[in-house]
A and B are shown apart, each in its own frame.
Chain A
Amino acid sequence: MNSVSVKLARSELSRGFKGFWIYLACLALGTAAIAAAGSVTETFSRGVASEARTLLGADAQFTTSQRRPAAEERAFAESLGAVSETVSLDVMGAAKDVRAQVDVRAVDGDYPLIGDAVLSGGETDLQAALARRGDRWGVVVTQSFLDTFGVAVGDAVDIGPVAGVVTARLDLSPDRIGTPGTFGPEAMVALDAMVDAERLTPGQLFRSSLRILFKPGQTFAAAEVTFNTSFPDEGTRLRGPEDAVDGLQNLLQTLNSFLAVIGIAALVAGGVGVAQATAAFLDSRRQSIAVLKVFGADAATIRTAYLLQLGVLAIVGALAGTALGAAAPYLLAAFAGGAIPIPQALALYPAALFKALTLGMLAAAVFALPAIGQARATRPASLFRRIGDAERNSAPWLERVWAIGAAGALAGLAVATSYRPALTAMILVGAIVTAGVFVAAAALVKWLAQAASTSARGFWRLALANLGGPGSLAPTIVPSLGLGLALLVLVVSVQTNLIRQITATAPANAPSLVFSQIPNAKVGDFNSVLTANGIDTENPDRYRQAPFLLARVTALKGKPLVEADVAESERWVVRGETSVTYFGEPPPDTVLVAGSWWAADYAGPLLVSVEADAAKGLGVGVGDTVGFRIAGRDVTATVTSLRKVDWGTFGIGSNTAFILSPGTLEAANPAYVAIAKAAPEQESAIIAALGTDLREVVVFQTRPALETAARLFGQIALAVNGAAGIVTLAGLLVLLGTFASLARKRRREAALLKVFGASRSEILRLYATEFAVAAGIAALVGTLIGVGASWPIVTYVFEATWTLPWQPASAVILAAISVSAIGGAIVGVSTLSRTPADVLRTP
C-alpha cells in the first residue's frame, strides 16, 4: 500500500460522508436486520435454554396416557428424587348459566417442584388455594376462565365432576412459560379432587405426568438408562429439560433463518443502492483518477485508494447497522417484553453481531468492487475526449472475480451459519433468480423504451428517450424496488389467503361443535339430544361421529419403531400418541389411492387403511404390517389400503392417519367423538341439553377459537409484514438515492429544456412520468413474482385454497407508481431550483 493511496483516501474521507448517506443507510439497514435477527433469537434461545428446567418443571418427566403411573413406575421415580404428579384433561366447566370446555390441570401437594405459581385476587399460596372447603374444592383459574364464565373469586364453579369454588386468579404457572396456551379457559384443581370424583380411572381421557427433581448426584443420562432398562415396552420415554424446550428452540431457529434471509434480501436490494452510490461517487472522481494516471499512478494505486475509502465507509455503515441490531433485543424488551411469554436472556451476542458485520462488509464488496474496477480502469485519454459508455461499461475481470468471490462467501456464510441451511440456500437461490429476472426486466424496459421513443412524439418521446437512454433509471430502480415489492407482495398474498382460510373457508367447512368423551353406551342418547335440537344426524354434511382411541405406533413391518427412520414431516404420527378409529364401511369422501377396503361386516384379523402421506413417511405400503399399542394392548394390523385425505374438509375419523377394521377394538368400549354444524342458537341449546343428560360429554365450540386464531394470525402477519417491509424500505432507499443523483444529473437537461421553451409543469410531468413508468414496471413484475410464488406456499405448505389477492396486489402497484411519480416530480422541482443561465454557465 503506497502513501499516495492512503493520502488520497484520507483527503477524500476528511470531507465527510456527503453523498454517502444512501450508501451508509443501505448497508446499515441490511446489517441491522441480520444483527437484530441473530440477537433477538439468541436472546430468546438462551433465555429458553437457561429456563429449561423451569419449563419442564423438573429434572425429568414421563407421561402416561389414560392411566395413572403404576406403583413400580412411581417407585422408580421416587428412587431418583422428589416426585410430583400432574394430570392434564379436558372437561366441561359450568358456572351460572354458562357451560364450556375447560383445560384442567390436577396437581398433587408437591406441585410445583421448581418455581412458584403466581396467584392474585384471593389466596396467594397454591396448596392453600386448592384445599377443600366444605363440600367444594378450591380452584384457581385464568383470566380467560373468569371472562368466559362471568365469575369472580369466591363464586362456585363445576369443573367436570368436581364441585369447586374459585379461590384465586392464576396469573402464571412456572411450567407454562413459552407454551402457546390453549386460548380458552384454564383451571387448576387438586389431584385428590379428580381422584375423589373418579375422573381418573383407566380408559378415560387424561394424561398423567410424573415429574422428578433429582437428588444430589443423580444425572439424567443415568436415570434414562435405568428407565429404558426397567420399562422397555412402555412405549414412553423419560424426557429431560432439553426435550421440554425442543419445540420452542425449533421454532426460534426457523424464525432466525427466516429473518436472516430477510436481512440478506435487504442487503441485496440495498446493494443496488451501494452500487449506485459507489458508481456516482467514482464517476465524480474520474477526472482525478485520469490525472493521477497521467502522472504515473498505476491501477493498483487507484484501486487501493478507493478500496480504502469505500472500505472505511462500509465499516461505518455495517457497524452502525450492527449496533442497531445489537440494541434490538433491548428495545423489544423495553417496549413489548411483558407481552412476550418467552424467557429472555438480554446480552450482547458477539457471534451473531460478527456474522451481521461480516455479511454487511461482504455485501459492500459485492456491490462496490465492480464500480471500483471500472474507476481504476479509467483511461487517462478521458481528459482529452469523452469516453463513451461502450468503452467503460465493463468492470475489469479482476474486480469481477473478487465481487463474485465475495458473493460466494456471503452466500456460503449465510448458509453455513443458518439453522436451516437447506431452506436458506433455497431462498437465496430464489432471491438470485428473482434478481436476475428483474435485471432482465430492466434491460427489456430500456430496450422497449428506446424502441418506442422513435415513434413517440413530444412529451412522451422525451420521457421514453430518457428511460431508454444511457442514464436510464430502469437498471437501478427495477431490480431494487422490484425485489422489495416482490417479497412484500409474497408475504401479503400468503397472509391474505390464510386469513381468508381462517375467516371464510374454514368456518364454511369446519364444524361449529366438536364433541368428545361420548360414552360408548350412550351414543344413542347423545344422537337423540342432537336430533331434538334440530341436527340431522343422518346427514353426513352436517353431522359425523366415530369411535375414538389413542394409539401408539410401536412397530413397522414387524420391526420395532425407530423414530429417526420416519420422514421428518410425518413424525407427528409416531411421536407420542395418535388418534385411531374403526369403521366397517368407508367414511364418506374416502378416496383410496392403493389397495381396497374391507367388507362392511369384516370380522377377521386386524386390518388398517393408512393416509397416503403418512404411509410414505413411515415407509409402509399395502401388505405391510403396523404394530400399535392401544389401551395397554399390543396389536398388529395389516395395511390393506392407502387413502388420500383432504384435511380441510368436514370430517371426523376419515381424517385420521389410521382407520382400523371392525371386530377387534369394540371390546375396549371406546368413547365416541362427533362433529356437527349448528347455528349459534342451536349450539347454546345443545350445550345446555347435554349439561342435563350427558354431563360427561365435552363440547368444544370452534367459532371463538377460529376468531382467536384469526386475531393471533393477524398479529403475527403484522410482524412478518414488518420484516418484509425492511426489504421494501431498502428498495425505497435506493429510489431516494436515484432521485438525489438524478436531480444533479438532470439539472443541465432541465435548463436546456427551459431554454428551448418547456414550461415548469411540462418538466415536472416529464420526470414524474419517467419515474412512474419505471417503478410501475418494477411493481408489476414484482407483484407477478410475489403472487406467483405465494401459490405453492399457500397450496402445498399450508394446504389451503389459493385465490388471487388482487386488492393488495393492485394497492402495491398503485402505491409504487404514486410514490415514484411524486419522487420524479421532486427531482423536477430540484432541477428547476437554479436558473438556466446559472446552470449553463457552470462548466
Chain B
Amino acid sequence: MAEALRLTGVWLTFQGAAGADGAGALDVLKGVDFVAEAGESVAVVGPSGSGKSSLIAVAAGLERASRGEVTLLGERIETYGEDQLAKLRRGRVSMVFQSFHLLETMTAFDNVRAPLEIARLDKVDARAKAALDAVGLSARRLHYPGQLSGGERQRVAVARALASDPALVFADEPTGNLDAESGRVVADLLFSIARDRGSTLVIVTHDADLAARAGRTVHMRDGHIV
C-alpha cells in the first residue's frame, strides 16, 4: 500500500511576543513522525492543546513546519510556496472543519461546486449534484448556509470535501459542533463516502466513539505522538 502522507521529525514553533531570540517561543509539535497509507482511515486523539489540529494543518500544507520533512501525496512540500501548495491540494486534498466554514454568500450547490471549479475538473455540476445526493441534501441544494441547520451545514461540508474524489481528506473535529444524532449522521457519511471513493481519511477528534470507527488511532500529548 502506497503512502498518502508522511511526516518525519516535524516541529512547529510559534514565535512569542518576546521575538526571534527564542524567549516566549511556543513549540506546538515536537519532532512528530506520522504516516497515513493510501485508503486507510486514521484518528488522531488527545487532550486540548496537544497539537492535533496543528498536525493536520502542517500535513495539509496550511502551516509551514519549522523543522522536519512533510511528504504529501508523494511530494516534499517544505519548500513549496503558497500557490504551489494550493495547486497540489486542488481536487486531491480536502478538509472538513468543526465550524463548517461554508461560503456564506453561496448556495449549498455552489459551495460544493467551488472546489471542483478551482480544480478545473470536468462534469462539475454532475459531481456536485451527486455529492449532495450522497449526503441527502439534494432538496436543499439552492439554500444558503444561513438557511441550513448545523447538521445540514456539516453534511454540505462533507459533500464539498468528497465531491472531487480526493486522495486525502482531513477532518478537524467534524462532529464537535453537532448534537449526537447529527454527529452520527455526519460521521457515517464521512466514513462511508471516504471508504467508497478510496480516500485516505485523517480525522482529529475528542470523541472516542468516532475514533473507534477509524482503522487506526494515534494519541497525541504535548506535541508528541505517544
Contacts and interface: CB of A to CB of B under 8 A. Distances in A.
A179 interface: no
Contacts of B102: 291
Contact of B103 (A291, A298, A300, A843): A291
B60 A294 contact: yes
Contact of B114 (A12, A15, A295): A295
Contact of A296 (B54, B105, B115, B172): B115
* Residue of A3, A7, A379, A380 contacting most chain B CB atoms (<10 Å): A380
Interface residues of A, number: 29
A758 interface: no
Nearest to A285: B105
Interface string A277-301: 0000000000110111111111111
A11 B63 CA distance: 29
A4 B118 contact: yes
A11 B53 contact: no
Contact of B89 (A3, A296, A843): A296
B62 A11 contact: no
Contacts of B83: 298-300
A756 interface: no
| Interface secondary structure of B, over-half rule | mixed
A296 B63 contact: no
A11 B118 contact: no
B57 A381 contact: yes
Contacts of A381: 57, 62-63
A761 interface: no
A8 B86 CA distance: 18
A11 B89 contact: no
A288 B57 contact: no
Interface string A1-36: 011100110011011000000000000000000000
Interface stretch (B90-98, B181-189, B206-214): B90-98
Contacts of A567: none
A296 B164 CA distance: 12
Contact of B86 (A12, A287, A298): A298
Contacts of B62: 294, 379-381, 383-384
B39 to A, nearest CB: 21
Contacts of A291: 101-103
B165 interface: no
Contacts of B91: 296
B134 interface: no
Given A4-B114, A296-B115, A288 B86 contact: no
A299 B82 contact: yes
Contacts of A380: 62
A295 B92 CA distance: 9
A657 B223 CA distance: 89
Contacts of B60: 294
Interface of A: 2-4, 7-8, 11-12, 14-15, 287-288, 290-301, 379-381, 383-384, 843
7 contacts: A7-B110, A11-B103, A292-B103, A292-B118, A295-B160, A300-B83, A379-B62
Given A15-B105, A384-B63, 6 more contacts: A11-B105, A288-B105, A294-B60, A298-B86, A381-B57, A843-B99
Interface of B: 53-54, 57, 60, 62-63, 82-83, 86-91, 93-95, 97, 99, 101-106, 110, 114-115, 117-120, 160, 172
